[in-house]
Amino acid sequence: MLAAEILFFVCVALIAYPYIVYPLLLSLVAWLRPRPIRIETAVGPLPTVSFIVAAHNEQGQIDARLQELVGLLEARGNTFDEILIVTDGSTDDTAAVVRPYTKQYVRLVELSERGGKAAAISRGAALARNEILVFADTRQSWAPDALTRLLENFADPTVGAVSGDLVLTAGDGTMAGIGLYWRFEKWLRRQESRVGSQVGVTGAISACRRALFEPIPAGTILDDVYWPVGIALGGKRVVHDYRAVAFDRLPEKAGDEFRRKVRTLAGNFQLVQRRPEVLSPWRNPIWFQMISHKLARLVVPWALLGLLLACILGEGPLYDIALGVQAVAYGLAFVGMMTGRCGKLLGAASSFLILNTAAWVAFWVWVTGRAAQSWTKVAYTAPREAKTGTRVRQRELATESARSQRKYKEKTR
């Protein structure tokens, strides 16, 4: 009985820490000892930029994306800016779509064999000419002022990299719950930024000083964590700017999101294997954030299993109640996941189950050596009407973001 009691409380602590205790501690430190970013020193022209966009078989989306990015640079009016489109072994007409743009800021880099997103980004960075590397993907869209907002952060010499704010449009049910989780994740990154540095960036909207960028080993899954960690290890800050907004949508199917999360979470195990120094508090300035934010969550699936076992073995009302709560929670989550139509409560329960099941599966994917497979992406099959609705929602969110920016004091960052 003592063993069951110890197991019970240890597992509760392991589950509560990354989702409750750490956020509370982080927000307390951010309130007591914030480190504001000195963007008010941004005077004169902003630095020149080199966009890096990795593309594999993106003939259907690359044209609209190029029009947007070229428009952003034309608005800046700096002829030294550039956009590097790195086609990663594409077998469709991606390169053919890009070529007409090569007289408008655009440089086309064609890789004959598919090496993965990390290799494509590293190749683009090696060829870039300008002071700031800006990373973007082919699917998302940016607010008109997003690039300017990103660049303003580099007026602070302590800043080595900056991540923008990705607004996700989600459907109902389980995907709405995952959207809620993403809002929590962004809040956490913002608090980490306020106390020093966040762990990783949002690959769809981020930037760094070219001199600080480290080439990413081929096969690296979390490219948007690997190079930012390197910048943090070098003593520079990796910050989050909520004002720099990009827009995207979640997959329509929970199964697609599950597969994406398995790959992402397997990347955390791979990251520790490739950068073991992240575990050292003496070498890693963001050691506390790394352990609490990224790695503690990988323990939660095992803690959930341990908690279930403790409740089965233990005797007394505490274990009976806890077992009943788990049974109801898992039942609701399963119903929500199977039906796909549920309220916020079922959606949150379903997303929690999906994320932690994915974390458990990710461990075995990494153990079996399948974590370093080539870059893959989730297929988005939204009909044209849904895409139109998403654009309308994007405009609404942009308006909401602009309104909040005016009200939000810079010191709170």
Q: What is the pLDDT of residue 170?
A: 66
Higher pLDDT, 334 or 210: 210
Rounded CA-CA distance 321/305 in Å is 16
Rounded CA-CA distance 174/339 in Å is 9
On the CB side of 399, how many CA atoms lie within 13 Å of its CA?
Answer: 5
Structural domains counted in the chain: 1
Rounded CA-CA distance 175/349 in Å is 11
Q: Which domain holds residue 199?
A: 37-252
| Dihedral, CA of residue 205, residue 211, residue 214 and residue 218, to nearest 10 | 70
Answer yes or no: is 258 within a domain: no
Higher pLDDT, 389 or 243: 243
Secondary structure of residue 116 in the 3-state scheme:
coil
Confidence of residue 344 (pLDDT cuts 50, 70, 90): low
Burial 316-355 (b: 16+ CB within 10 A, else e): eeebeebbeeeeeeeebbeebbeebebeeebbbbbbbbbb
Answer yes or no: is 381 within a domain: no
CATH number where 147 lies:
3.90.550.10
Answer yes or no: is 187 within a domain: yes
Q: What is the pLDDT of residue 345?
A: 66
Helices (H) and strands (E) in the chain, counts: 14, 8
Strand 141-142 vs strand 132-136: parallel, antiparallel, or unpaired? unpaired
Answer yes or no: is 3 within a domain: no
Instruction: Write the pLDDT tens digit of every residue in 131-183.
Output: 999 999 999 999 999 999 999 999 999 999 999 999 987 665 566 677 778 88
Rounded CA-CA distance 123/116 in Å is 11
Q: What are phi and psi of 70, to 5 degrees?
A: -60, -40
Instruction: Write the pLDDT tens digit of every residue in 53-93.
Output: 999 999 999 999 999 999 999 998 888 999 999 999 999 99
Higher pLDDT, 125 or 39: 125
